[in-house]
């Protein structure tokens, strides 16, 4: 699991690489929360999942938690680049209803 981010004038994009599952979720949560806490002045956050090779329901829970955190600060969040496998999990969970595709 590797997480990077890029910030520009209007948004913060968080890039997730590797597998997002029960084994990696706790460390991913710590890293993502640090990135979000350091960038609360952003107008939107995009979770780029194009580097993700696997995601299970634990990954969905992680993304929902970050969505709730951002919602407290009225910062919209989006998902981009999900693979076919991740897209299936996201759609089944209904995550696109609260975090639309970007």
Residue 6 lies in domain: 2-97
CB crowding 45-81: b at 16 or more within 10 Å, else e: bbbbbeebeebeebbbebbeebbebbeeeebbbbbeb
Please tell me the distance from the alpha carbon of residue 24 to that of residue 29, in angstroms, as a whole number.
9
Residue 45, in any domain of the structure: yes
Residue 70 is part of a domain; what is its CATH number?
3.30.750.24
Task: Report residue 84 as tokens.
Answer: 């076919």
Predicted TM-score (pTM) of this structure: 0.95
Q: pLDDT for 31-66, tens place per residue?
A: 999 999 999 999 999 999 999 999 999 999 999 999
Q: pLDDT for 69-84, tens place per residue?
A: 999 999 999 999 999 9
Q: What per-residue confidence (pLDDT) applies to 85?
A: 86
Residue 102, in any domain of the structure: no
**pLDDT interval class at 11 (50, 70, 90):** very high
């Amino acid at each position: 699991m590797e997480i990077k981010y890029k910030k520009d004038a209007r948004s913060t994009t968080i890039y997730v690489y590797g597998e997002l599952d029960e084994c990696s979720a706790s460390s991913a949560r710590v890293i993502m929360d640090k990135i979000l806490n350091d960038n609360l002045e952003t107008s939107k956050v995009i979770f780029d999942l194009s580097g993700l090779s696997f995601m299970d329901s634990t990954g969905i829970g992680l993304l929902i938690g970050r969505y709730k955190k951002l919602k407290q600060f009225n910062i919209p969040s989006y998902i981009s680049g999900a693979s076919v496998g991740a897209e299936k999990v996201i759609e089944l969970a209904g995550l696109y209803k609260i975090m639309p595709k970007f």
